[in-house]
Amino acid sequence: MNQKIHFKDKRLHPIWQKVYSGDRLSSNDGRVLFQTNDIISLGKMAHFVQKSRSGDSVYFVLNQKIEPTNICVLSCKFCNFSVRKGDINAYEMSIDEMLGKLTPEIHEVHMTGGLHPDWKWDYYLRIIRDIKNKFPDLDIKAFTAVEIDYFHKKFKMPVGKILQQLKDAGLRTMPGGGAEVFSERVRRELFQQKIDSKTWLDIHRTAHKLGIASNATILYGHIETIDERLEHLIKLRNLQDETGGFFSFIPLAFQPGNTGIKPRERFTSAIDDLKMIAVSRLMLDNFPHIKAYWVMLTEEVASIALNFGADDIDGTVGGERIAHDAGASSSSSLAKEQIIKIIRDAGKIPVERDVFYNPINIYSDNVIGKIPYLNSVPFYENIERRQFRILPVTPRRMGVLSRQKQLDAGLFSLVDFFKQSDELEALDFCIATRDQVRSVLLFSNHGWNDLEGKTIGIVDDTATSVKLLEVLLKKKYGIKARLCRLNSSVNDYSNYDAVLLIGDEALHSRKFGAAGFEIVYDLASEWYLWKKLPFVFAIWAVKKTMQDDKKQELKNIINESLSRAEGNYSSVGKLHAKRINLTKEESAEYLAGFNFRVGAREKAAIAEFHELLVEIDKLECV
Ligand code: SF4
């Protein structure tokens, strides 16, 4: 992606150099970003980072908020929601009432509420279990760190045990609320009974280690200073470096309401809201997503935020009370059509997602799937500026979306191309190895011949690599092993004799090691030593129904992009490489190991692999 920004505020120029090169921003940089009046340039910088991560996608989820009770033992100064037991406005929901709020169409329930003085531990577990039993496909995001800390103290159980029991009951992720601002000064003034930053961060660290991903928030626009906002962002960035367990960051604009902290009418300005979103995107270089929470921002500001660094707008949010009790002026829920319109008005692709950001439905034409790994970057440098819109999606998921006719073109996993050859037409571009691949790796504690009867964990993203592994096991080595998909939220491989990792995760593990494994097999090398052929992992294809002129345009821009990338690999992908801790040189060497055009040897390799797949009669997914 090439982008020129004409800065009015010259102090932004050196910061842009860093952003463009993928270098990390300092507190001083963050201070300048908050101070600047060059708001358009700030937005462009954040949008550049947003596009490099999420293409043109903006995610939303069909969700329902449940606040089981407003009775709370604390009385935080900024909270307009909580009441004491016996208060005329107090309410407590039964589990049946909670279940009554849910329908099979929604994908996520978001549950947070007051700290009830009397509810038993078993009641919380029953809430999760009963929801899971009645709606097995629904993802449950529940309990902030403040609630987890309350359970830990009230029920006298370690935080790890609390979280493990909730996870066993069906909890998938945790919301990011309760962080407020990581400043002791603010805490003492506004919420001194509430947990401090260390406790909040420790609870999320524990959750991440147990495979419970979470979000993070900041509550801004009350008495906090710019430096306190920055301190908050940097603490989160440090924890994300350590665990990688945060999905998204959500700046929450303070709603003064009747809190008395600020006059009712002194809500945050749209400029402050947009700055907060943009600076978050720029400072939190290791967070996959930044959310524009429309409930607090209003629909209008949220829509602009989608070009200021935010790639998620939350969801339909039925049943929200906390922000509205504090005076939020937005609607209390939005219909799916309204969300889609907000996203389209921002010039983006509305992508309905699940809790792990897997695309479920796409509401746009001319969408091209992009494998979100370093080795696909050379294809996409030019495409963004044309009529096509880019949706980053894992190889396996891309196959699913294509089968559902939700994609017009993409770099398809070879196995998915085989399966859909009636509907897809191949272009002359591919991801093929010369000999080794470096990013499709079997980490093992056993030599090939000792894998008989063993259990191999398979990363959830793969469609072709898992088939290559099967072919190698069955046809090259004559081995039968048990292949099991890994849970996408857990990096615990202790139950496996070997694991197959692909893409950036494999590159990272190759450099830094995958815990517990001594041997690393490169599957493309195994293939090359056996067949003396390259291996084709993915191939560009378009829908056969695509008009010829559009097809030709796509071919031209892929060709243009590749021609520019070839021989320039130390520059192409440097931003992406930094994100996965590869040096410029490592990235260049890696990309130079591929052939991106289909030639005679690639065609022979495709035919050979297809024949072997037919032989083992395994075109169905594991
Ligand atoms: S912010 Fe949360 S913990 Fe504090 S009073 Fe309100 S409901 Fe209770």
What are 471-529's pLDDT values in tens digits? 999 999 999 999 998 865 556 787 899 999 999 989 988 888 776 788 999 999 999 99
At 178-222, the pLDDT tens digits run: 888 998 898 888 888 889 999 999 999 999 999 899 999 999 998
Mean pLDDT of the chain: 89
209 and 63 in a single domain? The answer is yes
Q: Residue 130 falls within a domain, yes or no?
A: yes
**Residue 6 forms part of a structural domain:** no
CATH number at residue 523: 3.40.190.10
- Taking the CA of residue 72 as reference, the ligand 1 atom at the shortest distance is 8
CA proximity to 296, closest of 177, 191, 188: 177
Residue 621 has pLDDT above 80, yes or no: no
603: in domain: yes
For residue 622, the model assigns a pLDDT of 39
Say if residue 324's pLDDT is above 60.
Answer: no
Q: How confident is the model at residue 321 (pLDDT cuts 50, 70, 90)?
A: low
Query: Are 422 and 546 members of one domain?
Result: yes
Cβ–Cβ < 8 Å for 282, 309: yes
- Residue 1, in any domain of the structure: no
* Domain endpoint, select from 498, 531, 564: 531
Residue whose Cα lies nearest atom 4 of ligand 1: it is 76
Percent of the chain with pLDDT over 90: 68
Please provide the distance, in angstroms rounded to a whole number, between the alpha carbons at the two ends of the chain.
Answer: 37
pLDDT(228) > 60: yes
Structure-model confidence comparison of residues 324 and 135, the more confident one: 135
Q: Which atom of ligand 1 is nearest to the CA of 191?
A: 4
Looking at the fold, whether 204 and 60 belong to one and the same domain comes out as yes
Does residue 264 have a pLDDT over 70? no
Residue by residue, DSSP assigns 374-439 as GGGHHHHTTGGGSS-EEEE--HHHHHHHHHTT--SEEEEEHHHHHHTTTTEEEEEEEEEESS--SS
For residue range 407-419, list pLDDT tens digits in order. Answer: 999 999 999 999 9
By most ligand atoms within 8 Å of CB, the mutation choice from 65, 79, 191, 217 for ligand 1 is 79
Same domain, 397 and 414: yes
Express each pLDDT in 333-359 by its tens digit.
Answer: 567 888 898 999 999 999 999 988 999
User: 557 and 506 in one domain?
Assistant: no
426 and 552 both lie in a single domain: yes
Residue 406 has pLDDT above 90, yes or no: yes
Say if pTM beats, i.e. exceeds, 0.75: yes
- The closest of 38, 79, 498, 524 to 271, measured between CA atoms, is 38
Segment 82-108 mean pLDDT: 91
Q: Which of 331, 361, 391 is the last residue of a domain?
A: 361
d(CA 249, CA 288): 9
| Same domain? 527 vs 539 | no
Q: What is the pLDDT of residues 129-186, one digit of tens each?
A: 999 999 999 999 999 999 999 999 999 999 999 999 999 999 999 999 888 899 889 8
List pocket residues of ligand 1, CB cut-off 6 Å: 72, 74-76, 79, 81-82, 114-115, 146, 194
Domain closes at, from 496, 531, 566: 531
Number of domains in the chain: 3
Place of tokens 């009230």: 154
Label residue 136 left, alpha or beta by phi (over 0 means left) and psi (-120 to 50 means alpha).
alpha
Per residue in 359-374, pLDDT tens?
Answer: 999 998 889 999 999 9
Structural domain that includes position 579: 363-434+535-616
More confident residue, 385 or 233: 233
Question: Which residues are CB-contacts of 83 (< 8 A; sequence separation ≥ 6)?
Answer: 70, 71, 72, 89, 90, 114
Identify whether residues 240 and 269 lie together within a single domain.
Answer: yes
Does 543 lie in the same domain as 487? no
Same domain, yes or no: 203 and 238: yes
